[in-house]
Amino acid sequence: MSWRVRRLTTAPELQAVASVWSELAEQHGHATPFATHDWFECCRIAAATPNVEVLQLEDAGVPVGLIPLHRRTTKLRGFPVRYLSLLDCPDSPFGDLIPAGGDRLLVATLLDHLATRSDWDILELGRLPIESTTLKLFEGELEGRLRCRRAGSEKSPYLAIDGTWQDFYGSRSQRFKKTIRNIQNRLARLGTITVEEHRTLDPQGRLLEELIDLTGRSWKADRGVAIATMPRMREFFSELSRRAAQHGWLSLWLLRLDGRPIAMEYQLRANGVAYALRADYDLDYATASPGSSLNFEVARALFERGDVREYHMGPGLNEYKMRWASGTHETVRLHVHRPGLYPTLLHLLETRAVPTARRLRERLR
């Protein structure tokens, strides 16, 4: 038994796959916005180059799987590398295949297809959930076939929304509650504080401009990772806001001081889970901790409404998030190396040379 692979590369082909995408996602129980064609289209907008394709796997002409990929060339330890990556964007909380793992033949077909291509050095499957069937199948299929390694991992805290706000907040430490009171008092002394939630956002409207302007005043702006400073992020969030509002996913929180936004959190919500994609605050008010105050308001609102069971707080295990968290979700970045001398040397560089150099540095210290 074998499946056929069709490469979809033109704009009409990538748009026409939307209906097939929806059917497959629904059939296989993909219950997040990040498995939808709408999310794929937004990520395609965010891609720095037009080198995007979708591999459509077919069984007797019937689509059974979709794999969105992005081709890019960049440097690894100073060496040029042609990456073929599972398409995502910097704000993707996780990624997977459509359908997500579940079928060894899907993974085997993908590997057979890639073996016929010479336009890549490393296949990068980023942000695979640690419990993903895809991760287990890839590592099983690759054993003795292609070189691979886990190239990194990331943990993101989450808060289980269970019970009443009074019970949950009452269970926090006295030190934590004192910190919250101090933050609220500092902000109150600065002026009038208001908190807003928006479920719609006009891509051409004032609210989006306020949001982007705020990110330009955050600490992320100087590092080039704010919405206002990252290439194509304005276009990404404009299109995402339009599509997310149509589906009822969007939830934008703003904390204002005398009408001026000084903290924000951009969420997508679906099927009882709230995903914080972005959170920023005005660096001029850093000592007043407006981001922490907004965290408090969001958590309280989620408990009091009772329409969300889990709040994903975004990547990063900073101390403040962990005080709220019920636990963490982990994702893994998997690198698969193409057969050949150069990809093999890249694999040896990462698995042998770099670890050896690190050990030597540690000994010298």
- For each of the chain's 365 residues, which pLDDT tens digit applies? 679 999 999 989 998 999 899 888 877 766 789 989 999 999 998 886 679 999 999 999 899 999 999 999 999 999 999 999 999 888 899 988 887 555 788 888 998 999 899 999 999 998 999 998 888 888 887 777 889 999 999 999 999 999 999 999 999 999 999 999 999 999 999 999 999 999 999 999 999 999 999 999 999 999 999 999 999 999 999 999 999 999 999 999 999 999 999 999 999 999 999 999 999 999 999 999 999 999 999 999 999 999 999 999 988 888 888 889 999 999 999 999 999 999 999 999 999 998 998 999 988 87
In total, the chain counts a number of residues equal to: 365
Least Cα distance to 180 among 329, 14, 294 occurs for 294
Q: To 5 degrees, how large is the angle CA 315–CA 184–CA 317?
A: 15
Tokens of 303: 């408990």
Tokens in use for 148?
A: 């691979």
Q: What pLDDT is recorded for position 140?
A: 85
Give the integer Cα–Cα distance in Å for 208 and 299: 23
Neighbours of 165 (CB within 10 A): 16
E strand or H helix at 175: helix 174-190
Question: DSSP state, 204?
Answer: T
Structure tokens at 279: 């959170």
Closest CA relative to residue 292, chosen from 268, 326, 262: 262
Give the C-alpha separation, 80 to 139, whole Å.
25
pLDDT for res 48: 67
CB atoms within 10 A of CB 235: 13
Backbone angles phi, psi at 245, to 5 degrees: -65, -40
Q: How many helices (H) does the chain have, and how many strands (E)? A: 14, 12
Tokens 């922490």 -> residue: 292
Phi then psi for residue 93, to 5 deg, are -75, -30
Predicted TM-score (pTM) of this structure: 0.93
Residue pair 293/276 in contact (Cβ under 8 Å)? The answer is no
Question: What one-character-per-residue DSSP string does 59-89 give?
Answer: ETTEEEEEEEEEEEEEEETTEEEEEEEE---
pLDDT on residue 100? 57
User: Hey, how many other C-beta atoms are within 10 angstroms of the C-beta on 13?
Assistant: 14
Strand pairing partners for 336? 123, 148
Position 320 scores a pLDDT of 81
- Dihedral over Cα of 297, 298, 302, 307: its sign: positive
Angstrom distance (rounded) from CA 256 to CA 289: 13
- The pLDDT of residue 30 is 66
- With tokens 């050990």, the residue in question is 359
Q: What pLDDT does 319 receive?
A: 83
What whole-number distance in Å separates Cα of residue 21 and Cα of residue 112? 22
Answer whether the bond into residue 129 is a cis peptide, omega within 30°. no
